[in-house]
Chain A
Amino acid sequence: MNAGQRQWFFGCSLAAFVGLLLWGVLGLPPLGHYRGPYGDAINQAVVAQRHATDAIAAVNFDYRGVDTIVEEFILFASVAGCTLLLRQQRDEEAGMARTRALEGRMGQTSAAVTALGLTLAVPVALLGWYVVTHGQLTPGGGFQGGTIMASGAVFLYLAGEYVTLRRLNPPPLLEVLEALGAGGYILIGFAGMATGAAFLQNVLPLGRVGQVNSAGTIWVISMSVGMEVAAAFVLLATEFMEQALDLRQRRRI
Chain B
Amino acid sequence: MLHSLAPLPFALPLMMAALLMGLSRFVPRWLTDAIALVTGALVTVVCVILLMGSANQPIVYWFGGWTPHQGVALGVAFVVGPLGAGLASLAALLVTAALLFSVKYFEAVGAVYHVLMLSFLGAMCGFSLTGDLFDLFVFFELMSAVAFALTAYRTEEKGPLQGALNFAIINTVGAYLVLCGIALVYARTGALNFAQIGRALSAGPSDGLVTMAFVLIACGFLIKAAIVPFHFWLADAHAMAPTPVCVLFSGVMVELGVYGVARVYWTMFAGTFGPHMVAIRGILIGFGAATAILGAIFCVSEEHIKRLLAFSTISHVGVLITGLGLLTPLGLAGAAVYVLGHGLVKASLFLGAGILLNQFQTASETELFGRGRHLVVLGGMFLVGGLALAGLPPFGTALGKGMIEAAASKAGDAWLSAVIIVASALTGGAVLRVAGRVFLGLGQPEGQPDQAGADDEAEQPESARQLRTPMVMLLPALVLLAGALASGLVPNIAMRTEQAAGAFINQRGYSQVVLNGAARLASNGPLIPTGPDLSEVAGGLGSTTAAVLVGLLAIYRRQLPAAVCRAASRHLEPPLQRLRGLQSGDVRDYAAWLTFGVATMGLAFAFAVH
Touch test A–B (CB under 8 Å): yes
Q: Is B184 an interface residue (CB 8 A)?
A: yes
CB distance from A192 to the nearest CB of B (A): 8
Given known A78-B145, A198-B65, contact A36–B189 (CB-CB < 8 A) = yes
Report how many residues on chain A are interfacial, defined by Cβ distance under 8 Å: 65
Q: Point out the residue from A21, A67, A84, A186 that lies within 8 Å of B138, measured CB to CB.
A: A67
A251 vs B62: C-alpha distance in the bound complex, in angstroms? 56
B184 and A10 form a contact (CB under 8 A): no
Give a binary string over A198-235; 1 marks a CB under 8 Å from any B CB, 0 the rest: 11111000000000000000000000000000000000
Given known A10-B592, A186-B11, contact A29–B187 (CB-CB < 8 A) = yes
A179 and B603 form a contact (CB under 8 A): no
Specify which chain A residues have a CB less than 8 angstroms from the CB of B138 in the assembled complex.
Answer: 67, 70-71, 74
Given known A23-B208, A24-B209, A74-B145, contact A84–B599 (CB-CB < 8 A) = no
Which residue, A17, A71, A176, has most C-beta atoms of chain B within 10 A?
A17
CB distance from A45 to the nearest CB of B (A): 8
Give a binary string over B192-222; 1 marks a CB under 8 Å from any A CB, 0 the rest: 1000000000000001111111011000000
Q: Is B93 an interface residue (CB 8 A)?
A: no
Q: Is B556 an interface residue (CB 8 A)?
A: no
Specify which chain B residues have a CB less than 8 angstroms from the CB of A81 in the assembled complex.
Answer: 112, 116, 145-146, 148-150, 152
A190 vs B582: C-alpha distance in the bound complex, in angstroms? 50
Report how many residues on chain B are interfacial, defined by Cβ distance under 8 Å: 79
B190 and A201 form a contact (CB under 8 A): no
Q: Is A20 an interface residue (CB 8 A)?
A: yes
Give a binary string over B9-21; 1 marks a CB under 8 Å from any A CB, 0 the rest: 0110011011101
A187 and B15 form a contact (CB under 8 A): yes
Specify which chain A residues have a CB less than 8 angstroms from the CB of B235 in the assembled complex.
Answer: none
A67 vs B28: C-alpha distance in the bound complex, in angstroms? 33
Specify which chain B residues have a CB less than 8 angstroms from the CB of A36 in the assembled complex.
Answer: 186-187, 189-191
CB distance from B272 to the nearest CB of A (A): 13
Q: Which of A4-58 contact B (CB under 8 A)?
A: 6, 9-10, 13-14, 16-17, 20-21, 23-29, 35-39, 41-42, 45
Q: Is B122 an interface residue (CB 8 A)?
A: yes
Specify which chain B residues have a CB less than 8 angstroms from the CB of A1 in the assembled complex.
Answer: 582, 584, 589, 592
Q: Is B69 an interface residue (CB 8 A)?
A: yes
Specify which chain A residues have a CB less than 8 angstroms from the CB of B215 in the assembled complex.
Answer: 20, 24
CB distance from A224 to the nearest CB of B (A): 11
A16 and B599 form a contact (CB under 8 A): yes
A26 vs B72: C-alpha distance in the bound complex, in angstroms? 26
CB distance from A33 to the nearest CB of B (A): 10
B596 and A13 form a contact (CB under 8 A): yes
A158 vs B74: C-alpha distance in the bound complex, in angstroms? 45
Q: Point out the residue from B11, B112, B592, B606 that lies within 8 Å of A189, measured CB to CB.
A: B11
A250 vs B438: C-alpha distance in the bound complex, in angstroms? 46
Q: Point out the residue from B10, B209, B212, B592 that lies within 8 Å of A13, measured CB to CB.
A: B592
Given known A24-B213, A63-B74, contact A76–B18 (CB-CB < 8 A) = yes
Q: Is B311 an interface residue (CB 8 A)?
A: no
A14 and B595 form a contact (CB under 8 A): yes
A180 vs B14: C-alpha distance in the bound complex, in angstroms? 12
CB distance from B606 to the nearest CB of A (A): 7
Q: Is B505 an interface residue (CB 8 A)?
A: no
Specify which chain A residues have a CB less than 8 angstroms from the CB of B189 in the assembled complex.
Answer: 36
A131 vs B121: C-alpha distance in the bound complex, in angstroms? 33
Specify which chain A residues have a CB less than 8 angstroms from the CB of B115 in the assembled complex.
Answer: 77, 80
B592 and A41 form a contact (CB under 8 A): no
A199 vs B589: C-alpha distance in the bound complex, in angstroms? 45
Q: Point out the residue from B19, B64, B184, B603 that lies within 8 Å of A65, measured CB to CB.
A: B64
Q: Point out the residue from B61, B63, B69, B592 that lies within 8 Å of A9, measured CB to CB.
A: B592
Write the chain B residue with the least CB distance to A172.
B25
B142 and A16 form a contact (CB under 8 A): no
Q: Which of B73-123 contact A (CB under 8 A)?
A: 73-76, 110, 112, 115-116, 119, 122-123
CB distance from B17 to the nearest CB of A (A): 8
Q: Is B7 an interface residue (CB 8 A)?
A: yes
Q: Is A118 an interface residue (CB 8 A)?
A: no
B112 and A80 form a contact (CB under 8 A): yes
Specify which chain A residues have a CB less than 8 angstroms from the CB of B191 in the assembled complex.
Answer: 36-38
A60 vs B152: C-alpha distance in the bound complex, in angstroms? 32
Given known A1-B584, A85-B155, contact A20–B602 (CB-CB < 8 A) = yes
Specify which chain A residues have a CB less than 8 angstroms from the CB of B152 in the assembled complex.
Answer: 81, 84-85
Specify which chain A residues have a CB less than 8 angstroms from the CB of B10 in the assembled complex.
Answer: 70
Give a binary string over A99-143; 1 marks a CB under 8 Å from any B CB, 0 the rest: 000000000000000000000000000000000000000000000
Write the chain A residue with the least CB distance to B190.
A36
A27 vs B192: C-alpha distance in the bound complex, in angstroms? 18
Q: Point out the residue from A26, A66, A80, A172 that lies within 8 Å of B135, measured CB to CB.
A: A66
Specify which chain A residues have a CB less than 8 angstroms from the CB of B62 in the assembled complex.
Answer: 198
Specify which chain A residues have a CB less than 8 angstroms from the CB of B210 in the assembled complex.
Answer: 27
Specify which chain B residues have a CB less than 8 angstroms from the CB of A16 in the assembled complex.
Answer: 599, 602-603
B22 and A37 form a contact (CB under 8 A): no
Given known A85-B149, A172-B25, A197-B65, contact A63–B208 (CB-CB < 8 A) = no
Specify which chain A residues have a CB less than 8 angstroms from the CB of B17 in the assembled complex.
Answer: 73, 76-77
B21 and A17 form a contact (CB under 8 A): no
A42 vs B74: C-alpha distance in the bound complex, in angstroms? 7
A69 and B72 form a contact (CB under 8 A): no
A198 vs B61: C-alpha distance in the bound complex, in angstroms? 8
A23 vs B112: C-alpha distance in the bound complex, in angstroms? 45
Specify which chain A residues have a CB less than 8 angstroms from the CB of B65 in the assembled complex.
Answer: 197-198, 201-202
Q: Is B320 an interface residue (CB 8 A)?
A: no
Specify which chain B residues have a CB less than 8 angstroms from the CB of A63 in the assembled complex.
Answer: 64, 66, 74-76
Which residue, B23, B65, B153, B211, has most C-beta atoms of chain A within 10 A?
B65
Q: Is A83 an interface residue (CB 8 A)?
A: yes
Write the chain B residue with the least CB distance to A9.
B592
A25 vs B606: C-alpha distance in the bound complex, in angstroms? 14
Q: Is A193 an interface residue (CB 8 A)?
A: yes
CB distance from A156 to the nearest CB of B (A): 24
Q: Is B4 an interface residue (CB 8 A)?
A: yes
| Cross-chain pairs A/B with CB under 8 angstroms, 8 sampled | A14-B599, A23-B212, A70-B142, A73-B17, A81-B116, A81-B146, A198-B62, A202-B65
Given contact pairs A10-B595, A21-B180, A80-B119, a sample of 10 additional A-B residue pairs in the complex whose CB atoms are under 8 Å apart = A17-B602, A38-B74, A41-B72, A84-B149, A175-B25, A179-B22, A182-B14, A198-B64, A200-B64, A201-B63
Q: Which 3 A-B residue pairs are closest in the complex by CB-CB distance?
A: A36-B190, A24-B212, A81-B149
List residues of chain A with CB under 8 Å of any chain B CB: 1, 6, 9-10, 13-14, 16-17, 20-21, 23-29, 35-39, 41-42, 45, 62-67, 69-71, 73-74, 76-78, 80-85, 172, 175-176, 178-180, 182-183, 186-187, 189-190, 192-193, 197-202
